[in-house]
């Protein structure tokens, strides 16, 4: 079947597709990109846009904002400037009166307080941000480390000379530190006991703790 291309006007032969209107892919791409002429349903004016109406005024009239038509309109107060504005019934989720106020609201929503220096900053969209800069993040990280170091230093201050149960003292390097309440976080001097490996294993084996905790399962 011989047809005429609606874009370039050339004649072409079509055997498979009866609804084909373009002679080639190039013409079909031009047809998709071109904006066609339309007639405004409100004023009857011919325009060339990708919108339903030729202007915002005609769009407001068709939505029932003109006098004499009883269509519910949404009145809201802008949280940024405090101005009372009317929204389109189809876009009742609008919260601000203009694009400028909307941008200000988005900036205000991203304002946060830095955990380290208590400075107010604008966070980046996407991942949660808790610090105003990398400097504050590094400082906050190293503020908590000395507490752990102090706890370890308390443990290191215990004199490793002999076992407090059997009195073994030949090789002090094999002696270990034992927590009486079996809580490794409790590094108080009164809670630490110096033991040899045998005495240390006996305590944990009798109480089924540490690496001997599997005894509880076997006994049950």
Residue at which a domain ends, from 153, 171, 188? 153
Same domain, 119 and 138: yes
pLDDT for 149 equals: 44
Quote the mean pLDDT of the chain. Answer: 78
Same domain, 140 and 164: no
Would you say residue 215 has pLDDT above 50?
Answer: yes
Q: Which residues form the domain of 211?
A: 158-219
CA atoms 163, 166, 172, 175: torsion sign: negative
- pLDDT tens-digit profile of 99-142? 899 999 988 988 989 888 888 999 888 778 888 988 888 887 76
Structure-token match 């703790």, residue found = 209
What percentage of the chain exceeds 70 in pLDDT? 78
d(C-alpha 171, C-alpha 56), whole Å: 91
pLDDT for 25 equals: 80
- pLDDT tens-digit profile of 26-68? 887 777 666 667 778 888 887 777 777 888 778 777 765 444 4
d(C-alpha 210, C-alpha 117), whole Å: 41
Judge whether 207 lies within some domain: yes
pLDDT for 145 equals: 44
Judge whether 95 lies within some domain: no
**Beta carbons of 131 and 114 less than 8 angstroms apart:** yes
In three state form, how does the secondary structure of 112-151 look?
EECCCCCCEEECCCCCCCCCCCHHHHHHHHHHHHHHHHHH
Report residue 85 as tokens.
């504005």
Enclosing H/E stretch for 74: strand 74-77
Does 143 or 56 have the greater pLDDT score? 56
Would you say residue 72 has pLDDT above 60?
Answer: no
- pLDDT tens-digit profile of 148-196? 444 455 566 667 788 989 989 888 888 888 888 887 777 778 888 889 9
* pTM, full prediction: 0.34
pLDDT for 117 equals: 86
Residue at which a domain ends, from 102, 123, 153? 153
Same domain, 209 and 167: yes
Would you say residue 201 has pLDDT above 50?
Answer: yes
Q: Report how many domains make up the chain.
A: 3
- pLDDT tens-digit profile of 88-97? 665 567 888 8
pLDDT for 101 equals: 92
């Amino acid at each position: 079947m011989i047809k005429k291309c609606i874009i370039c006007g050339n004649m072409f032969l079509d055997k498979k597709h009866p609804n084909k209107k373009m002679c080639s892919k190039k013409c079909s791409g031009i047809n998709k990109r071109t904006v066609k002429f339309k007639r405004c349903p409100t004023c009857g004016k011919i325009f060339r846009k990708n919108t339903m109406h030729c202007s915002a005024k005609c769009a407001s009239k068709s939505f029932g904002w003109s006098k004499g038509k009883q269509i519910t309109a949404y009145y809201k107060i802008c949280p940024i400037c405090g101005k009372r504005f009317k929204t389109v019934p189809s876009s009742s989720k609008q919260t601000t009166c203009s694009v400028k106020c909307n941008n200000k609201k988005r900036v205000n929503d991203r304002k946060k307080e830095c955990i380290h220096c208590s400075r107010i900053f604008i966070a980046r969209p996407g991942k949660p941000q808790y610090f105003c800069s990398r400097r504050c993040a590094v400082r906050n990280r190293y503020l908590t480390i000395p507490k752990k170091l102090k706890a370890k230093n308390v443990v290191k201050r215990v004199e490793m000379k002999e076992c407090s149960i059997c009195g073994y003292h030949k090789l002090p390097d094999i002696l270990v530190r034992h927590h009486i309440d079996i809580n490794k976080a409790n590094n108080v001097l009164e809670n630490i006991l110096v033991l040899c490996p045998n005495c240390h294993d006996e305590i944990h084996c009798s109480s089924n703790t540490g690496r001997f905790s599997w005894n509880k399962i076997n006994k049950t």
